[in-house]
């Protein structure tokens, strides 16, 4: 089967874009991921960096990746039940090991677990409309739970929002020390993440997967609509998403990132805006693909998309080594941390481009496919690329 290069490029954009926010999770305490005033104060430089990233990137690239994951599930349906279940179960195992042994920001476990539920819903959906509407409903349920949590939250400042000096010192210690101390803490975080997945985030993740599958089934993610359609839809959705999110960004700034409002209630506009902006970004890529396809860097980004799993894990390997082994953790502000993104992107691009000149798949993708075939009992000769 001929690859959809545009889809590979969109996936590459998602993987590279995720690092714009993950770099904070690598280089700063866990509390800093959502709260720019995590140390109880904030510089103007930090505030503006947070605001710009919140408007254009925060949640958006994760949402885009979830959309594409659902699209991938739609494409996998032809390979059958055993192949899909084996593939997703192995992803769950990989995510568990990644989250337990390497980094507490893992997303693979969540995607695998939710995917094991969603693929059946995708398979059994009677129409594109019902599949898309179900996705919208699930996403809105997750948003509703988020708002409910905000209404139930108290006014007491949470240590997970503004950690004290002892907590910061301990987090720095176990992340840089590693060993069983770090594994124990990552295990606790895995448990917390699974609770959050079941209570709130899993609904949104499932919703985006179903919407992505619907867009693939309709032909929208195959590029079967006109360039004018993609351009108009893309511009409209991006502007709509920004219009929803911008007031919440301003309010969080005005409220000095107060935990009661900013940890829950003012997260909701961003989460609501993310699907609009995400689909808008994808639409703009499809709409301007004839122009983009002429650029050499676009081919390299598409290679990153073909090796998405390998590149995601490579980002973890590079960043945990830099920040935890070379004593760079909590040494830089948000803007300076963004400068680390550029060389990591360069490694992703060069590694993917030159690897795929020799091999058909990324190293982790190849291993995943081989293990899936063994686990499912399905011969690789019976499956196409």
Mean pLDDT over 178-193 rounds to: 95
Q: What pLDDT is attached to residue 381?
A: 65
Give 343's contacts (C-beta < 8 A, 6+ positions apart): none
The pLDDT-based confidence of 222 (bands split at 50, 70, 90) is: very high
CA gap 206, 134 in Å, rounded: 10
Q: In which residue are the tokens 């959502």 written?
A: 34
User: What's the mean pLDDT in 298-320?
Assistant: 97
- Percentage of the chain beyond pLDDT 70 is 97
What's the pLDDT at 320? 97
User: Is the pTM higher than 0.75?
Assistant: yes
Note the Cα 82 to chain centre separation in Å: 26
> Domain spans of the chain?
5-382
Q: What is the spatial distance between Cα 195 and Cα 320, in angstroms, rounded to a whole number? A: 25
* Residue 284: pLDDT band with limits 50, 70, 90: very high
Q: Which of the pair, 151 or 10, is modelled with greater confidence?
A: 10
Sign of CA dihedral 130, 134, 137, 143: negative
Please give the residue that has the higher pLDDT: either 101 or 160.
Answer: 101
Query: Is residue 287 over pLDDT 50?
Result: yes
pLDDT over threshold 90, residue 275: yes
- Whether 383 shows a pLDDT value over 70: the answer reads no
User: Between 263 and 144, where is the model more confident?
Assistant: 144
What integer pLDDT is reported at residue 152 of this predicted model? Answer: 84
Q: Is the pLDDT of residue 116 over 80?
A: yes
Residue 341 to residue 245: CA distance in whole angstroms: 24
> Over 60: is that where the pLDDT of 384 sits?
no
Please state the rounded mean pLDDT for residues 87-106.
Answer: 97
Tally of helices (H runs) and strands (E runs) in the chain: 17, 0
Average pLDDT over residues 10-14: 98
In this predicted structure, what is the pLDDT of residue 154? 64
Mean pLDDT of 210-215: 98
The pLDDT value recorded for residue 159 is 75
What proportion of the chain, given as a percentage, has pLDDT over 90?
Answer: 89
Does residue 87 have a pLDDT over 50? yes
**Cβ distance 205 to 110 under 8 Å?**
yes
Q: 377: pLDDT confidence band, cut at 50, 70 and 90?
A: confident
pLDDT of residue 158: 73
Q: State residue 153's pLDDT score.
A: 75
Mean pLDDT over all residues of the chain? Answer: 94
Over residues 184-191, mean pLDDT = 96
On the question of pLDDT at 257 being above 60, the answer is: yes
CA distance linking residue 319 with residue 305, whole number of Å: 19
Question: Could you give the CA distance from residue 304 to residue 310 in angstroms, rounded to a whole number?
Answer: 9
Comparing C-alpha atoms, which of 345, 373, 378 is closest to residue 361? Answer: 373
Residue 209's nearest CA partner among 297, 103, 106, 132 is: 132
pLDDT tens-digit series, residues 357-374? 999 999 999 999 999 999
- At residue 385, does pLDDT exceed 50? no
pLDDT of residue 150: 86
């Amino acid at each position: 089967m001929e690859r959809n290069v545009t889809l590979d490029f969109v996936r590459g954009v998602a993987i590279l874009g995720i690092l714009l926010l993950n770099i904070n999770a690598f280089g700063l305490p866990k509390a800093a991921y959502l709260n720019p005033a995590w140390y109880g104060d904030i510089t103007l430089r930090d505030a503006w960096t947070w605001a710009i990233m919140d408007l254009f990137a925060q949640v958006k690239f994760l949402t885009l990746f979830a959309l594409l994951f659902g699209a991938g599930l739609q494409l996998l349906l032809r390979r059958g039940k055993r192949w899909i279940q084996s593939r997703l179960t192995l992803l769950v195992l990989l995510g568990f090991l990644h989250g337990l042994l390497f980094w507490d920001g893992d997303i693979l476990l969540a995607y695998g677990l939710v995917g094991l539920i969603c693929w059946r819903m995708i398979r059994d959906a009677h129409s594109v409309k019902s599949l898309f509407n179900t996705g919208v409903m699930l996403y809105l349920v997750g948003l509703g739970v988020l708002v409910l949590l905000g209404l139930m939250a108290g006014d007491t400042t949470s240590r997970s929002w503004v950690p004290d000096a002892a907590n910061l010192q301990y987090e720095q210690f176990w992340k840089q020390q590693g060993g069983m101390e770090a594994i124990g803490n990552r295990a606790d975080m895995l448990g917390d993440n699974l609770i959050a997945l079941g209570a709130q985030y899993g609904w949104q993740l499932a919703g985006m997967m179903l919407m992505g599958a619907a867009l693939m089934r309709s032909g929208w993610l195959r590029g079967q609509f006109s360039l004018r359609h993609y351009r108009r839809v893309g511009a409209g959705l991006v502007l709509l998403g920004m219009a929803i999110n911008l007031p919440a960004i301003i309010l969080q700034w005005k409220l000095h990132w107060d935990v009661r409002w900013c940890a829950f209630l003012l997260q909701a506009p961003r989460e609501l805006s993310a699907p609009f902006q995400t689909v808008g970004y994808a639409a703009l890529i499809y709409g301007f693909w004839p122009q983009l396809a002429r650029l050499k860097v676009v081919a390299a980004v598409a290679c990153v998309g073909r090796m998405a799993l390998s590149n995601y894990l490579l980002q973890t390997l590079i960043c945990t080594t830099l920040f935890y082994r070379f004593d760079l953790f909590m040494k830089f502000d948000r803007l300076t941390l963004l400068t680390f993104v550029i060389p990591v992107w360069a490694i992703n691009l060069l590694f993917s481009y030159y690897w795929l000149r020799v091999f058909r798949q990324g190293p982790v993708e190849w291993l995943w496919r081989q293990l899936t075939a063994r686990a499912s009992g399905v011969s690789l000769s019976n499956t196409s690329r």
